[in-house]
């Protein structure tokens, strides 16, 4: 394996860690409902599991209210069952041809808990970055055709990359923390 391939793999894996953090943060609810929280809800319909957003229209009415209008009205009960099984924490209300979800106001206690969860996700992403760094260092050490000075130089490049991605993760966390604590 060439050094350029090692660095390229490191970059790719570190970008995955950033993507992981952004994905997890999109699921943490701040003051306003985000349609991404419905992304993983699977509905047992037509003898198969389908994603909620594939079988219905999800409409954000205001900061705390969502309307879900199924494309097929006969699937409403299955959608309600899937929402009840999910971890979004609301009870669906059946209305004329659609489902209404009213999310509760976020309390200060919930905001603090959400920041704590965000911090945990940050630590997991940082762990991924550290693991990527160690893997790259091992691969560099296994290169037999280069001198100790070059190995040290490449390790410095890896460390610089590590610091760059850690600061990127910290910045993402700081933005999410501000969003979560904003009333």
Q: Which pLDDT tens digit goes with each residue over 153-163?
A: 889 999 999 99
Mean pLDDT to the nearest integer, 119-145: 93
Task: Please report which confidence band the pLDDT of residue 4 belongs to, taking 50, 70 and 90 as the band edges.
Answer: confident
Phi and psi dihedrals of 89, rounded to 5?
A: 80, 30
106 contacts 89 by C-beta, under 8 angstroms: no
Counting Cβ atoms within 10 Å, is residue 91 exposed (0-12), middle (13-18) or buried (19+)? Answer: exposed
pTM of the model: 0.77
pLDDT given at position 59: 92
Mean pLDDT to the nearest integer, 51-59: 92
Write the CA distances from 28 to 35, 46, 70, 109, 166, integer angstroms.
11, 31, 25, 14, 21
Task: Please report which confidence band the pLDDT of residue 133 belongs to, taking 50, 70 and 90 as the band edges.
Answer: very high
pLDDT given at position 104: 86
For residue 58, the cross-strand partners are 68
């Amino acid at each position: 394996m060439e050094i350029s391939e090692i660095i390229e793999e490191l970059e790719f894996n570190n970008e995955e860690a950033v993507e992981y953090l952004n994905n997890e943060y999109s699921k943490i609810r701040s003051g306003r409902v985000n349609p991404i929280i419905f992304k993983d809800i699977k509905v047992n319909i037509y003898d198969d599991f389908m994603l909620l957003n594939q079988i219905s229209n999800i409409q954000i009415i205001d900061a705390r209210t969502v309307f879900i209008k199924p494309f097929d009205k006969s699937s409403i009960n299955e959608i309600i069952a899937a929402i009840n099984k999910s971890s979004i924490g609301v009870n669906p209300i059946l209305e004329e041809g659609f489902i209404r979800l009213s999310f509760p106001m976020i309390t200060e206690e919930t905001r603090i808990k959400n920041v704590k969860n965000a911090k945990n996700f940050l630590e997991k992403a940082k762990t991924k970055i550290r693991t990527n760094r160690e893997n790259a260092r091992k691969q560099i050490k296994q290169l037999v055709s280069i001198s100790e000075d070059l190995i040290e130089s490449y390790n410095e490049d890896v460390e610089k990359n590590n610091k760059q991605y850690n600061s990127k993760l910290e910045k993402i966390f700081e933005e999410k923390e501000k969003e979560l604590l904003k009333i």
